[in-house]
Amino acid sequence: MAFADLREFIAHLEKQGQLRRVTAPVSRDLEVTEIADRVSKGRPEGNVALLFDNVQGCSMPLLINAFGSRARMAAALGVDRLDDLSSRVAKLLDLKMPGGLVDKLRRLGDLFDLAKAGPKRVRSAPCQDVVVTDRPSLAGLPVLQCWPGDAGRYITLPMVFTRDPLTGARNVGMYRLQVFDDQTLGMHWQMHKGSAEHQRVAQDVGRTRMEVAIALGGDPIAVYSASAPLPPGVDEMVFAGWLRGAGVPMVACKTVDVQVPADAEIILEGYVDPAERRQEGPFGDHTGYYSLAREYPVFHLTAMTHRKSPIYPTTIVGRPPQEDYWLGKATERIFLPIIRLLLPEVVDMNMPAEGVFHNLVIVAIRKRYPGHARKVMYALWGLGLMMLAKTIVVVSEHVNVHDLSEVAWRATGNIDPRRDLVLVDGPMDDLDHAALRHRFGGKLGVDATEKTEMDGIVQPWPDEIRMTDEMRSLVTRRWSEYGL
């Protein structure tokens, strides 16, 4: 079951004992970060969402860590387990496969789901209960200074809405926003991302204004969808509608030709001048390091609309694991079947927290021919934002990619570095501080599969040690006799 808005999600978390209200006064400068960081990295049972009612100097409550665990992320997306998402996507993709009449009829049900997924236009919306077009200001928002070395305060959990200047197609991305002043934000869309392409097109066709709307809060599925690496041209709001089983209600903004989720908490309307740049950062980033100050586009606020008593949602990123790890985990599970459609030999994959998305991708494959592990690496490096993956470790199908101890064992024991390491160059994540140069650098592939004659080995590959089933069941049967 999907939630209509952030409030329903908050109520659900509270009922499940997954949210605490903090009424003690707290500072939005560093204090909220230190609290949220301790809660999210502390004892699992203490890892809850936090609703701060009393952020000093601000009347708005602040929500943080709402997506910060496997259970809360699953709840946000309306499923019991994140793996349920893989099955749903797999079922959808099966549509084009041949099948009997009964199969096809059954799949019609899924098709119908897709038809219902389109956004629904509405005329009046809670996110426009209050409309400020005369000198709008960001001053009332409890925007955090997350880390001591940050260049300022950052809006960290936004849905940024832009439209292709030529086709009008929508893109929604989660891009952090640095507060320069009460009407101006740094727009940190990286050059590989959907809205950066809209901006390049706008500049090419000579536009001086590119209209942008920023939504804060709303149905958690819509919020998550802004972070999903969908192929360019795929509308994040249609994807959200499919995930939630009903179209996202959307309303036209007041001063720009952009639609936003009607059930959001706060909307910032404005524009980006495609040619304007301003220094953004440093910012304590999800790599665990500060990303460097760089030139980025600038957002100018023209109007602000919000609910009567809005709630400000935010997150912090920093040394992993953090809340964004769970947003990434949901993506990993949702996109696995899509990757398997193109690369059927892929059995499972894991992007562990320590690898902060791009640094480490572990993938298990059914190896069938010489060079197969390399083929999978090259394919992944050519697949959407997977192009940014720095290290890809390929293991055999029987390996549990989620067991990092097992992966470390196989990935060091099963390789000869001269034979099994692949070094290539390619595009790198904007935030990669170790890359050869900004946005470009080396990539490492590790073929950690077991080797056989097909790999040209000249000494026999040994068997892995395993006890016989007979002895295992005998010992299990007799266990109590041993007095252990």
Q: Which residues bind ligand FMN (CB under 6 A)?
A: 156, 171, 173-176, 188-190, 193-195, 227-229, 315, 317, 324, 327, 385
DSSP codes of every residue in 148-163? TT-SS-EE-SEEEEEE
Minimum distance between the CB of residue 67 and ligand FMN, rounded to whole angstroms? 9
Contact pattern from residue 138 through residue 177 relative to Mn ion, giving x for each residue in contact according to CB under 5 A and a dash for the rest: ---------------------------------x------
What are the residue numbers of the active site? Answer: 285
Which partner from the list ligand FMN, Mn ion, none does 227 bind, CB cut-off 5 to 8 Å by kind? ligand FMN
DSSP state at residue 73: H
Read off the tokens for 439: 């946005």
The closest residue (CB) to Mn ion is 194
| Residue closer to ligand FMN (CB basis): 48 or 174 | 174
Q: Quote the least distance from Cβ 433 to ligand FMN, whole Å.
A: 15
Partner from Mn ion, ligand FMN, none contacting 193, C-beta within 5 to 8 A by type: ligand FMN
> Can you give the length of the chain in residues?
484
Decide: is 69 part of the binding site for Mn ion (CB under 5 A): no
Least Å from the CB of residue 353 to ligand FMN: 13
Stretch that binds Mn ion, among 136-144, 187-195, 265-273, 365-373 (CB under 5 A): 187-195
Reduce the DSSP state of residue 261 to 3 states and report it.
strand
Residues whose CB is less than 8 angstroms from the CB of residue 244 and which lie 6 or more positions away in sequence, other chains included? 2, 78, 219, 221, 222
Q: If binding means CB under 5 A, how many residues of this protein chain bind Mn ion?
A: 3
Q: Does 194 bind Mn ion (CB under 5 A)?
A: yes
The label of the residue with tokens 């952030």 reads: 6
Residue 189: contacted member of Mn ion, ligand FMN, none (CB under 5 to 8 Å, by partner type): ligand FMN
Q: Which is nearer to ligand FMN, 132 or 234 (CB)?
A: 234
Residues whose CB is less than 8 angstroms from the CB of residue 384 and which lie 6 or more positions away in sequence, other chains included: 229, 231
Place of tokens 């001048």: 273
Number of H helices, E strands in the chain: 13, 25
The residue type of 244 is R
Q: What does 145 interact with, of Mn ion, ligand FMN, none (CB < 5 to 8 A by kind)?
A: none
Residue 440 CB, nearest approach to ligand FMN (Å):
16
CA distance 37 to 31: 10
Report the nearest approach of Mn ion to the CB of residue 224 (Å).
13
Q: Considering the complex, what minimum distance in angstroms separates the CB of residue 188 from ligand FMN? A: 4
Nearer to ligand FMN, 189 or 451 (CB): 189
CA-to-CA distance for 241 and 249, rounded, in angstroms?
A: 9
Site for Mn ion in 331-370 (CB under 5 A): none
Least Å distance between CB 201 and Mn ion?
14
Give bridge partners of residue 312 from the DSSP assignment. Answer: 62
Strand segments, DSSP code E, in 27-174 are 49-52, 62-64, 120-121, 130-132, 154-155, 158-163, 170-173
In angstroms, the CA 100 to CA 85 distance is: 25
Backbone angles phi, psi at 44, to 5 degrees: -55, -40
Nearer to ligand FMN, 171 or 255 (CB): 171
Q: Which run of H or E residues covers position 11?
A: helix 6-15
Cβ closest to ligand FMN, residue 430 vs residue 447: 430
Q: What span, in angstroms and rounded, lies between the C-alpha atoms of 86 and 103?
A: 19
Binding at 229: pick from ligand FMN, Mn ion, none (beta carbon under 5-8 Å per type)? ligand FMN
CB of 34 to Mn ion, least distance (A): 33
Q: CA-CA distance, 195 to 337, in Å (whole number)?
A: 26
Site string (225-244) toward Mn ion, x via CB under 5 A: -----x--------------
Which one, 131 or 201, has the nearer CB to ligand FMN?
A: 201
Parallel/antiparallel/unpaired status of strands 312-313 and 278-280: unpaired
b/e map of 26-38 (b: 16 or more CB within 10 Å)? bebeebbbebbbe
- Indicate the residue among 178 and 350 with the shorter CB distance to ligand FMN: 178
- Binding of Mn ion at residue 318 (CB under 5 A)? no
| Residue whose CB is less far from ligand FMN, 52 or 189 | 189
Q: Which residues bind Mn ion (CB under 5 A)?
A: 171, 194, 230
